[in-house]
Amino acid sequence: MVKPILLLGSSDLYDISRPVTETENIKSLIEDLHDTLQDWRQKNNAGRAIAAPQIGIKKRVIYMNIDEPIIFINPRLEFPTPKMMEIWDDCMSLPGLYVKVRRYEQCNIHFTDIEGNKKNFYLQGSLSELIQHEYDHLEGVLATMRAIDSKSFRMPRD
C-alpha cells in the first residue's frame, strides 16, 4: 500500500530506528516500501531507494530498486578509505530541495536479506552515496544536517 512520505519538520524523521528481530514479519513493510517508491517514481520520474522511517516505521530496513529490488535489513556500514566526494543530495522527504553534502566514495554494507541470509556488498560512487543517504534515515539524520555549510542549499529552476 502506498504510504505518505514524512516531510522535513516531522519529528519522527529524527528518531533512531530499532533493529528488526528474527521473529518479526516485515513482509507488509517491504510491500509498503515497494509501493511507495513505485508511486514516487511514477509521479516524479526519480527515486532509487527508500528507508522505513520515511513512511513512519522506525525499523532498520532499506528498500532499494535500481535494476531489481534489494532489501537491506539491519544494515551496518564500513568505510574502507577516508576519500570523500561532494554531491548535491536530494530526498523524497525534502521534495525540491538539494543539499550539498560530503559522502564517502566507497563503503561496505553488511546486512541480512529477506530470507535471513547474511550478506556484504561493496559499493562505490553513486551507489555508495545512495546507501549512506538511506542509512542516515535509520539514524535519524537528514541531508540538511550534513550540509557542508550554510550556503549548501538550492532549489531547482522550473
Supply the residues annotated as catalytic: 134
Classify residue 18 by its DSSP letter. Answer: B
Q: Is 133 annotated as a binding residue?
A: yes
Classify residue 2 by its DSSP letter. Answer: -
Q: Is 137 annotated as a binding residue?
A: yes
Strand partners, 71: 63
Measured in whole angstroms, how far is the alpha carbon of residue 158 from the centre of its chain? 26
Q: Which residue is it, cell 532489501? A: 71
Q: Is 34 annotated as a binding residue?
A: no
Please tell me the distance from the alpha carbon of residue 21 to that of residue 116, in angstroms, as a whole number. Answer: 11
- Residue numbers in the known binding site for Fe cation are 91, 133, 137
